[in-house]
Amino acid sequence: MIASIAALLVLQLIGTIIIRLTGIPLPGPVVGMLILFAYLLWRGATPHALEGTTKALLSNLALLFVPAGVGIITHLHGVAAHWIALSVTLIASAAIAIVVTGFTLHWLMPAAEKDHGSA
């Protein structure tokens, strides 16, 4: 598990370095995640250790929202001043995430059905 977490952090670092060197307007961790995605596509399967680590992280995902909640409470005055813009942004980002997830699922389903049919 430690090696998998280290690998995830190294990918985040690589993504951050790429962003700093190129000036691409994306967060470094997102670029690191794209590198991981490309590696997993190339490999064709998720390593068992990485799968166990990611399942553990996902099962405790709610804990990762605690710092964001504290930040919102700390800056409640600023949130109250811009609540309309924040609400529109949250609704739009949720809608975009749903649409992108739907298209991704639509794109991946034929491959999954083909894999299950050959097994």
Chain segment 23-68, per-residue pLDDT in tens: 999 899 999 999 999 999 999 888 888 999 989 988 988 888 888 8
What is the count of structural domains for the chain? 2
Task: Say yes or no: 8 and 31 in one domain.
Answer: yes
Task: Say yes or no: 77 and 52 in one domain.
Answer: no
Residue 118 pLDDT: 60
Predicted confidence (pLDDT) at residue 17 exceeds the cutoff of 80: yes
| Cα–Cα distance measured from residue 37 to residue 33, given in angstroms and rounded to the nearest whole number | 6
Q: Does 68 fall in a domain? A: no
Range of the domain at 18: 1-59
Q: Is the distance from CB of 90 to CB of 44 less than 8 angstroms?
A: no
Task: Say yes or no: 96 and 49 in one domain.
Answer: no
Chain segment 65-99, per-residue pLDDT in tens: 888 889 889 989 988 999 999 999 999 999 999 99
H-only helix segments in 60-82: 66-74, 76-81
Predicted confidence (pLDDT) at residue 112 exceeds the cutoff of 70: no
Q: What is the pTM of this model?
A: 0.59
**Distance, CA of 2 to chain centre:** 20
